[in-house]
Amino acid sequence: MPPEVRKGALGGRGRKKVRGGSAYRSGMSPEFPWNDLTPLGPNRVKVRVPAKINLTLNVGQRADDGYHPLLTVFQAVGLYDEITAMPVLGGVISVLVRGAQAHLVPTDGTDLGAQAARLLRSRYGLPSYGASIEIDKQIPVAGGMAGGSADAAGTLVACSELWGLELSPNELQLLAAELGSDVPFSLNGGTVIAHGRGTDMVPLMCRGTYYWALAFAETGLSTPAVFQRFDELNGAAAPKRPADVPHELLAALIAGDAKTLGKMLSNDLEPAALDLCPALADTLAYGRSYPGVLGGLVSGSGPTCAFLVENPRALADLVGELRVLPRVRAAVGVTAPARGAHLISAHSSAA
């Protein structure tokens, strides 16, 4: 661990709290193994973290480093995974995933929640700290909604609270960027413009509430496979740099003008996702022509389809219809923008 990182983060707020603050028994050092009497802080922390959609996703040609330059507008939507973290003795970190698609998340310790907890623990020099993490998974797996990134962001917030680290938003953002390109956005939430690999973000002014119907496909799509197909379909015709985000889209967000926003939705990966999953074309055509729908697109690398709807009533009607479409596993109606990863409860048995 670079000494300056450890000093910067723990020499100040984090370390003070862990050593002698209210979260842990006075006199305990974080280097000491925990025993049943050690933690006096919360013994059950719950965090909620949202899914994202891309209002526009502009993709440039694959660069020499293998990555595609991106320019995108992310919006966090009110579909959440919930992360519960409890302290465990002896430095064990375990993750249990619940939900209809839990079986699709790896169980060999490589899931993004476990990676986030391990990164946090090693960066702050706390090898004896453990956590039992439960993820109630509502965000589709491999659905183009950054579900894995959401779990990484949620676990960072949950474990830093559980372990009494008191990290600043900036410290959390730096850790998030190490875990993956969408993780900083999952922490931040709201509506942002992001470029590069998605880690450089600027929050956008966004008025109003937007109503989204989300149609989940029966199977997921692998993000690398979709980018690969993007290369095959576009070859050298893809622009070196991603196109700019249209001013009309930014102006629509500022004005809270859902009608114009609906017309501006776009996704350069959509043809590739449709090529890999042709059934999505029917879902998209159905949703786009439904009364009250202002626009629709494939979310990120797909296969989730997202439809912007003019009001809650039209939203409920559309969701009911999407649910019975063939090849649609499930459909939900949500509002946006949503808050990024946030604590919803922290209980202590000592309290």
How many positions of this chain bind ligand ATP (CB under 6 A)? 19
- CA 190, CA 261: separation in Å to the nearest integer? 16
Residue nearest to ligand ATP (CB): 148
**Residue closer to ligand ATP, measured from CB, 182 or 268:** 182
CA distances from 208 to 113, 211, 250, 337 (A): 32, 10, 13, 9
Answer yes or no: are the C-beta atoms of 309 and 320 closer than 8 Å.
no
Could you say whether residue 145 binds ligand ATP (CB under 6 A)?
yes
Answer yes or no: are the C-beta atoms of 291 and 321 closer than 8 Å.
no
Of the candidate residues 47, 49, 105, 116, the single one contacting ligand ATP (CB under 6 A): 105
For every residue of 2-58, DSSP letters joined together read -HHHHHHHIIIIIHHHHHHSTTB-TT--TTSPP-TTSB-S-SEEEEEEEEEEEEEEE
Q: Which of the ranges 9-17, 34-42, 135-143, 263-271 carries the binding residues for ligand ATP, by CB under 6 A?
A: 135-143
- CA 347, CA 351: separation in Å to the nearest integer? 8
**Residue closer to ligand ATP, measured from CB, 173 or 299:** 299
In one-letter notation, the amino acid at residue 277 is C
Answer yes or no: are the C-beta atoms of 78 and 50 closer than 8 Å.
yes
Q: Which of the ranges 4-12, 109-117, 123-131, 321-329 carries the binding residues for ligand ATP, by CB under 6 A?
A: 109-117
Answer yes or no: are the C-beta atoms of 162 and 126 closer than 8 Å.
no
Question: With the CA atoms of 334, 71, 226 and 219 taken in that order, what torsion angle do they form, in degrees rounded to the nearest 10?
Answer: -10
The helix/strand/coil state of 350 is coil
Of the candidate residues 128, 199, 223, 348, the single one contacting ligand ATP (CB under 6 A): 223
CB of 61 to ligand ATP, least distance (A): 19
Of the candidate residues 18, 73, 79, 141, the single one contacting ligand ATP (CB under 6 A): 141
Of the candidate residues 144, 242, 287, 296, the single one contacting ligand ATP (CB under 6 A): 144
Report the DSSP pairing between strands 70-88 and 130-136.
Answer: antiparallel
**Residue closer to ligand ATP, measured from CB, 8 or 109:** 109
DSSP state of 144: S
Could you say whether residue 112 binds ligand ATP (CB under 6 A)?
yes
Q: Which of the ranges 16-24, 69-77, 104-112, 158-166 carries the binding residues for ligand ATP, by CB under 6 A?
A: 104-112
Q: Which of the ranges 105-113, 161-169, 250-258, 261-269 carries the binding residues for ligand ATP, by CB under 6 A?
A: 105-113
**Residue closer to ligand ATP, measured from CB, 257 or 266:** 266
Of the candidate residues 300, 333, 337, 340, the single one contacting ligand ATP (CB under 6 A): 300
Could you say whether residue 142 binds ligand ATP (CB under 6 A)?
yes
Residues contacting residue 60 through CB under 8 Å, at least 6 positions apart? 68, 69, 70, 238, 239, 240, 241, 242
- CA 131, CA 72: separation in Å to the nearest integer? 35
**Residue closer to ligand ATP, measured from CB, 145 or 284:** 145
**Residue closer to ligand ATP, measured from CB, 14 or 148:** 148
**Residue closer to ligand ATP, measured from CB, 111 or 171:** 111
Handedness of CA 146, 147, 153, 157 (dihedral sign): positive
Q: Which residues are catalytic?
A: 52, 182
Could you say whether residue 111 binds ligand ATP (CB under 6 A)?
yes
Could you say whether residue 146 binds ligand ATP (CB under 6 A)?
yes
Could you say whether residue 198 binds ligand ATP (CB under 6 A)?
no
| Subset of 231-270 contacting ligand ATP (CB under 6 A) | none
User: What's the token pair of residue 167?
Assistant: 């990290």
Kindly list the residues in this chain that would bind ligand ATP in the complex (CB under 6 A): 105-106, 111-113, 141-149, 151, 182, 223, 300-301
